[in-house]
Structure 1
Amino acid sequence: MSRKLMSLICLGMYCLCLWLAVQTVEKVRQISPGVSLRYTQALTGEQVKKAQTYIKSSQNTDGLMVTFWEETQVAVRSPVSTRTCTDVCSIGFCGTAHDAYGASYVVGTAPGSGDTSQCAVSTALAWQLFGSTDILEQALTLDPDTEDARTYRVCGVFVSETEQILYGVETTAAFQLLELTHVSRDNPGQSVQQLLAAAGLAQPDQILYDAALAWVLSALIGIPELLLLLCAGCRLLRLFRNKSLREVIGFGIALLLVCLLPTGLASLPGWMIPNQWGSMAAWHSLLSAAGDRLTEWFALCPTARDVQLKGEAAQVVVFTCGSLVFAVAACLSWGSSVKTKGKRSLCPYDNHATLNL
């Protein structure tokens, strides 16, 4: 009974870790849904307008969307509470707020596209300035006591443990960061080059395929699911003593896995699927592409969103490893309980045979 209980506990922990991994992957997908382009020199207003013109034109057959944004440290003051927070992470965007910084809102929502009069603040900043998150329509002043002072109305409060503010800016701002969404899953690099050529933008200093990270993590959490299915199938086969029946059931399990393979591959981008499964060169090219994506991702100068993204990715890896450990433990405990039960069932028969002799 103790072994059965242990296998049930391990199975429950496996499900919990796997559920947490799936939820965290969704957060990763929310934080960075596309491709991030990084420039060391700020783009000109003409380049920004030209890119926006292309996005709205009929030439944009793929439906690409672009958001320009910047991140700086500013001071924020509340005229009502007269409190001031310094070194606040400010994110100014031109486009879609969610693409610049994806977050979960507890009150209100993010500023709309083209709205340069409202802002959204983090829960940490709301508590610092007002002692509450019920602060919709409150006024906030950025860079007070300077010539660049500007005032916004709060339209939303999002979850964050650091002081942050998100607001819309004009196209003339000094943008160095660009987010491209609705890119091709199979060939995101082609979408990037298409925008650069049409908008007359120079090659960025860094190209981060952030959406690919969510796809990689989605493939990673599929490993413990496959492992548990294989272990459970092997254990079930051992329960049947009839060899013919065992072969039929084994063939059915193998056929089920083959049928599920196309569905699993369809959830992955094309660049993650090797052209020739038996070619070592194809697998080497796939691993090289994945390594390049990780190298680019870890080499960037981190923004607030990048730090959050790395933290969520690390959690996915931890939860996935935990689910793997509990999957193996559940299978081993279940197998041990089956063997113990089989041995105990033979004991009365053996004793009775000994007495008769």
Structure 2
Amino acid sequence: MVSLFLWRYAAEQERLYATTSLRFAEALTEEEMQAVTAYQSDADHDSRIYASFWGQNTAMVKAGDGRWEDDVTCIGFCGEAADCLPARYLRGGAPGSTGKTCSISDGLVQSIYGSVWMEGLQIELAGEFYEITGVFSAEDKVVLYPSRQRLTCAELRGVSKDTPMADVEQWRTSAGLPAPQWIYYGPQRVMIVQFLCWLPGILTVAVLLIAWIRMSISWGIFARNVLWFFLATGGALALPVLLHALPGWLIPSQWSDFSFWPDLLKTIVKNDGAWKTAVRYWRDYARF
């Protein structure tokens, strides 16, 4: 039961944290966005990383019949909408990367229209009219729409699981972007959660092995030594396979560095705390 709960949680984490997230101190300029677009469309480089960008602000949103809502969280994105807001849609779907379309949260559509029926409806945002393509589940008042203005965050797909830091830095410098304020490695978080899913099984096997070894003490010396020999041989053969399955960032460059894993744990906890206070509030507080 514990494993089932953990695997369901891991599947949800994999949906929410599928990208490596970069947060910039200032909004990207149009020249920087053009440089990124040119870099990603250039067939001469072999980068497997693709980025989507987004930013948010608060503004007034008006309905077609004169009703309006103030202090609405407006999220503009450029690229893949699902990478910028991995929401669950109650009706319809995400807007396209271009055009005057948008999707809105359940909380906003209920406050403006009183239902989730939104076919053919429009909203007015900053003097522009956007056709609603879908309603996603979130209690707060949120609008998702295509934009190239005030983009402060990047979502990267294709980052290596073994060398994420080097991949992000190489892609950033090649794309001509400034150094980010902070980076959140979502797929690495998912890997840690998936590893925790195996802990109940690992602990069960460990308890059974300990019980088996204690029981073998009363056996004859030949049977006991044979059992222990096979257990030791199996452990020695399994160790290289286990190390090969681990990502490179979990393995220290020197095994004598006993502070490697405590320092890594502190870094993970620190970054996770910063993430929960960041702009992407819906991944921790909104209902999906």
Q: TM-score range by the shorter chain?
A: 0.7 to 0.9
Provide the rounded CA distance (Å) in 2 between the counterparts of 1:124 and 1:266. 47
1:90 pairs with 2:83: no
Indicate which of 117, 129, 132 corresponds to 2:115: 132
How far did 1:168 drift?
0.9
Counterpart in the other structure of 2:64: 79
Identity %: 26
1:19 pairs with 2:4: yes
Indicate which of 247, 262, 268 corresponds to 1:287: 262
Counterpart in the other structure of 2:140: 162
Indicate which of 84, 93, 98 corresponds to 1:100: 84
Counterpart in the other structure of 2:186: 210
Provide the rounded CA distance (Å) in 2 between the counterparts of 1:133 and 1:259. 57
Q: Deviations over 1:217-253 (max 9, x none)?
A: 2222322221122224445677887556677667667
Indicate which of 203, 210, 218 corresponds to 1:227: 203
Counterpart in the other structure of 2:101: 118
Asked if 2 retains the 8 angstrom alpha-carbon contact of 1:219 and 1:268, the reply is: no
**Unmatched runs of 5 consecutive residues or more in structure 1:** 1-14, 143-147, 313-357
Letter in 2 for 1:208: Y
How far did 1:98 drift?
1.3
Provide the rounded CA distance (Å) in 2 between the counterparts of 1:211 and 1:298. 17
Distance change >3 Å, CA 36–CA 129, structure 1 → 2: same
Provide the rounded CA distance (Å) in 1 between the counterparts of 2:262 and 2:185. 15
Distance change >3 Å, CA 60–CA 181, structure 1 → 2: farther
Counterpart in the other structure of 1:200: 176
Asked if 2 retains the 8 angstrom alpha-carbon contact of 1:51 and 1:195, the reply is: no
Distance change >3 Å, CA 225–CA 83, structure 1 → 2: farther
Provide the rounded CA distance (Å) in 1 between the counterparts of 2:19 and 2:89. 21
Q: Deviations over 1:97-128 (max 9, x none)?
A: 1111112222222123x323211222222222
How many residues end up aligned between the 2 structures?
Answer: 285
Indicate which of 61, 76, 95 corresponds to 2:46: 61
Question: SS of the residue aligned with 2:75?
Answer: strand
How far did 1:137 drift?
3.2
TM-score by length of 2: 0.84
Distance change >3 Å, CA 253–CA 201, structure 1 → 2: same
Higher-helix-fraction structure: 1
Q: Deviations over 1:59-91 (max 9, x none)?
A: 4413111111101122222214x4322222221
How far did 1:26 drift?
2.1
1:296 pairs with 2:271: yes
Q: Deviations over 1:152-188 (max 9, x none)?
A: 111122222322221111x3x1211112221111111
Distance change >3 Å, CA 124–CA 198, structure 1 → 2: same
Q: Deviations over 1:125-157 (max 9, x none)?
A: 222222322323321222xxxxx3222111122
Asked if 2 retains the 8 angstrom alpha-carbon contact of 1:28 and 1:309, the reply is: no
Computing the radius of gyration from Cα coordinates, the structure with the larger value is: 1
How far did 1:53 drift?
1.1
Asked if 2 retains the 8 angstrom alpha-carbon contact of 1:78 and 1:140, the reply is: yes
Distance change >3 Å, CA 128–CA 249, structure 1 → 2: farther
